[in-house]
Amino acid sequence: MANVRYLPFTPSGSVSAPPSKSDVHRAIICAALSRGKCTISPVVLSNDIKATIGCIEALGAVTSIKDGVLTVDGTELFENRTALLDCGESGSTLRFFIPVAALGGVKAKFVGKGRLPQRPIGIFTDILPQKGVNCETEGGLPLRISGKLQSGRFEVPGNVSSQFITGLLFALPLLKNDSDIVLTSPVESAGYINMTIRTMSKFGVEVQKTDFGWHINGGQRYIPHNYTTDGDWSQAAFFMVSGAINGEITVENVNQSSAQGDKQIVNLLEQFGAKVIQTDVSVTVKSQPLHSITIDASQIPDLVPVLAVCANFAEGVTRIINAQRLRIKESDRLKTTAELINSLGGNVNELEDGLEITGVPKLSGGNTNGFNDHRIVMSAATCAAGLDGEILCTDAMSINKSYPEFFNDYNSIGGKADVLDIR
């Protein structure tokens, strides 16, 4: 175990956003499904990406990585008729691979750790048995599947996780006949579905949007493609918010034309009152007096913890609404975000579906829990841009789930993060 100590700092200079974890997950799966040899770059081996690589290898693909270039050879994909897929703590990996393994008729066992075994998979255990896939579970992980996925009509709620829809989108084009995904409730995190469709299109597979979901033509094939990944807007947000609180920061490698919904951080920081200058591939944020706003988080759940930090330094009361899905993330992020900020001297009221944050000029610091949640630990780092005193946060290395280089990048813009081994 390790704690991390954060000291007050004024952000300055520039930092490059890491490769988008969400983009890399998708590219790895599309590359393997192409049944050829593809490169994906740049790639950083976060724990979640390691889980996806491990699962695609368990299904028969071969991978290697050198200097940030990942090679995926899917020639032998699905040659393994039985497989153990260890998804670690990655919800994306789990929900993406259930339909993919079923596509190949693989007898698969899915396992995970942390909170992943308790995270919802009921959508698949409800609909897949109707389409040729037997599912055995006691309500979570481990999950065992057998049988081969069949095409048809898939009725899916849109308000639990877009990851279920993405998993189906990967698999359905490779079936012989056409399929339809029909939404039974409005879709949330639509940007992630758009990202999936965009990545699939680069590998030669097309999806048609309909009034009620998506139509997928069967009989398609993925074409091998050397893929360049996007910078990660959700990770860039930690640095941008730091600049909005105190100082000036430029974040590079953030593509304005990205399909990532989290690029909304730019508009939200402008609404808060920060000065924002955007180019095609960079964003500069400079602190100015901030004021409260209302944020609908239905399409941007991953931004909620760091947006709450920004709201803490904004005059007035900020409300974050439509964020109830955060209760089933790596932690109950409504609860843990409130506890983080309140433990440091802030004033956050937890709502059933969101947060109410009353702004304060400074945080006093103190001891806080990272809850083994990478976004909570990185949000604690962002708090230090408006800090008197110091922060001691647990579970420092949970950042490895998504952003192993976070502390180095943070310190490069003036941050003062000191990881303390407490073994």
Residues taking part in catalysis:
302
Pick the closest to residue 145 from 179, 94, 180, 77 (CA basis).
94
Query: What is the Cα–Cα distance from 15 to 22, expressed in whole angstroms?
Result: 20
Pick the closest to residue 312 from 277, 283, 272, 279 (CA basis).
272
DSSP class of residue 130 equals: G
Q: Which two tokens stand for residue 325?
A: 């899905």
Residues across the chain: 423
Please report the DSSP string for 247-279 in residue order. Answer: SEEEEES--TT---GGGGHHHHHHHHT-EEEE-
Query: What is the Cα–Cα distance from 260 to 193, expressed in whole angstroms?
Result: 9
Query: What is the Cα–Cα distance from 192 to 207, expressed in whole angstroms?
Result: 14
Query: What is the Cα–Cα distance from 188 to 192, expressed in whole angstroms?
Result: 9
Determine the distance from the C-alpha atom of residue 327 to the mean position of all C-alpha atoms in its chain, rounded to a whole number. Answer: 15
- CB contact at 8 A, 85 and 29: no
- Angle at which helix 47-58 crosses helix 91-103, to 10 degrees, equals 10
Sheet holding 143-147, edge to edge: 82-86, 107-111, 143-147, 133-136
Question: Please, which residues bridge with residue 319 across strands?
Answer: 294, 356
